[in-house]
Amino acid sequence: YSAVDTNPLSLYVMHPFWNTVVKVFPTWLAPNLITFSGFLLVVFNFLLMAYFDPDFYASAPGHKHVPDWVWIVVGILNFMAYTLDGVDGKQARRTNSSTPLGELFDHGLDSWSCVYFVVTVYSIFGRGSSGVSVFVLYLLLWVVLFSFILSHWEKYNTGILFLPWGYDISQVTISFVYIVTAVVGVEAWYEPFLFNFLYRDLFTAMIIGCALCVTLPMSLLNFFRSYKNNTLKYNSVYEAVVPFFSPCLLFILSTAWILLSPSDILELHPRVFYLMVGTAFANSTCQLIVCQMSSTRCPTLNWLLLPLFVIVMVVNVGVTPYVERILLFTLTAAFTLAHIHYGVQVLQAHFHEGKYRRK
């Protein structure tokens, strides 16, 4: 496992904090259990906010707002999940139990956490006159997803995982904003903070700005440094960009569904649609992580995109709103089960390989 972390916040604040926290955990506690616990906290936040804000209208003027205590719980649990994500690797090194499975488990769950984290944050502003439209949030979700996969694309080509700066900054900032929201109320975000620039605009600008001004330039810089040093794993441009094929096709197909939808499916069921996209993305990312760890070629296309393609074709022909809703919910459930099944298969392969080596 080769990783480089140059983020000042991480190096000078979070790592010393995590070094202190990890000493609290008993040495018998498995690092993978710490990783999974952090992931469950993120999912719990998603489900909690789905209960109090199912359609992302709770923060809009004239609607029943999310109770203040919910924001406090979500803020604390988000920071706890972030802390556990930073501590699990230290626990593995502390107990001399670092394994390739731990790396895959950590980063694989991180890829799935992207959608849960972003969609939960959306409830701070929601949609409506003071919020962000569900389509804009859909595009922002993709900015986050592509920012995440960039780091693993780097490692796939360079052999080194350059940890993105945006992750630590966003986790600390959002945890703080959740608590502030409980204190000042969502009404505080209605007012412009500078001239006519609203807080929702700041939210959008921060995500896009971090991706375009920090994550993308640093990724390209690290890639070209490896190119100049002649340390790239793949000399062919085609092989170097293969990991982007499935995510890009997923973006094209899901966007086509939104634009062709006869019932405006994203407006009706945004939370489920985001989950469908995020889960399919996580599966493609996990396949990339397995390939980068095993030095094997990344699959050109993810088979999960086939049923999505079929549904987009069916929607284009024309279906009733009821049928389209059933298609979305069924596909989301199928993607979730398929992704879990993929994870189980990887675990079984890992343990089988371990038994084979011991023999």
Domain boundaries, the chain: 3-357
Torsion, Cα of 293, 294, 298, 303 (10° steps): -100
For residue 164, the one-letter residue type is: P
* Beta carbons within 8 Å of 333's beta carbon, 6+ residues apart: none
Q: In the chain, which residues have pLDDT < 70?
A: 1-2, 350-359
- Token pair of 64 as six digits: 């029943």
Residue 190 backbone phi and psi in degrees, to 5: -75, -35
Radius of gyration of the chain (CA): 21
Q: Do 149 and 219 touch, CB atoms closer than 8 A? A: no
Q: Where are the alpha helices (DSSP H) in 185-236?
A: 199-210, 216-228
What's the confidence (pLDDT) of residue 50? 95
What's the confidence (pLDDT) of residue 10? 86
- Token pair of 281 as six digits: 């993305």
What's the confidence (pLDDT) of residue 352? 61
Fold classification of 3-357 is Four Helix Bundle (Hemerythrin (Met), subunit A) (1.20.120)
Spatial distance between the Cα atoms of 308 and 299, rounded to a whole number of angstroms: 18
- Token pair of 286 as six digits: 């996990």
pLDDT tens for residues 334-353? 999 999 999 888 877 766 66
pLDDT tens for residues 114-157? 999 999 999 999 888 878 899 999 999 999 999 999 988 988 88
- Token pair of 103 as six digits: 């790396």
CB atoms within 10 A of CB 242: 20
Active site residues: 107
Spatial distance between the Cα atoms of 53 and 120, rounded to a whole number of angstroms: 9
Q: Do 125 and 59 touch, CB atoms closer than 8 A? A: yes
Spatial distance between the Cα atoms of 189 and 341, rounded to a whole number of angstroms: 41
What's the confidence (pLDDT) of residue 350? 65
- Helix or strand (DSSP H, E) at 274: helix 270-294
